[in-house]
Amino acid sequence: MNENIQKQILALDLGQNTGWALRRRDGQIYSGRETFKPDRFSGGGMALLRFRNWLDTLHETSGHIELVVFEEVRRHLGTTAAHIYGAFAGQMSAWAEFKEIPYQGVPVGTIKKHITGKGNASKEDVIRAVFDHGHTPMDDNEADAIALLRWAIDTKIGG
């Protein structure tokens, strides 16, 4: 096997504004943010169906994801945020199980400490640290996903 080929890893900051970062087998990193807010003409379940379809499309167009890591949030600012996170986490884990892709949650403090050196870093600290690593996230969702991907790469969880 060619040692330059790496495991393809998808990192997710789950929610209606999902941040994502993908390391491809050639080592290239791509990232962005996808919005899954329901519009006024669709039910709340449509956002989850669009999320699952997006995962399918990303999996197929990227050449098959081999590991998913996601930001494991234990405390939410409100009930609605907790429900939204739980719904997206449930969709992601069911999708990964169906595709037989391993997945792992990583606590927020672990990600922040890895990228900034402080487990209680602010959103601005994380964004700044991600910029310092040569990435240009459009917002904190994308920055969190990139920070999580950096953790997965640096800890060798993704090979």
Mode of pairing for the β-strands spanning 67-72 and 9-13: parallel
CATH of 9-154, picked from 3.30.420.10, 3.30.70.360, 3.40.50.2000, 3.40.718.10, is: 3.30.420.10
Task: Kindly list the averaged pLDDT for each block of 10 residues, start to end, along the chain of length 159.
Answer: 75 96 95 91 86 97 96 80 91 97 96 96 97 96 98 84
Q: What is the distance in angstroms between the CA of the first residue and the CA of the last residue of the chain?
A: 13
- pLDDT attached to residue 80: 79
Nearest of 108, 56, 116 to residue 85 by alpha carbon: 108
Instruction: Write the CB contacts of 119 (distance below 8 Å, at least 6 apart in sequence).
Output: 109, 110, 112, 113
pLDDT in tens, 105-123: 999 999 999 999 999 999 9
Please give the full DSSP string across 44-110, using - where no structure is assigned. Answer: HHHHHHHHHHHHHHHHHHHT---EEEEEE----SSHHHHHHHHHHHHHHHHHHHHHT--EEEEEHHH
In DSSP notation, 137-157 reads -SSHHHHHHHHHHHHHHHTTT
In the chain, where are the structural domains located?
Answer: 9-154
Is pTM, for the whole model, over 0.85? yes
**Residue 1 confidence (pLDDT):** 43
Alpha carbon separation from 97 to 25, 66, 100, 124 (Å, rounded): 21, 12, 5, 34
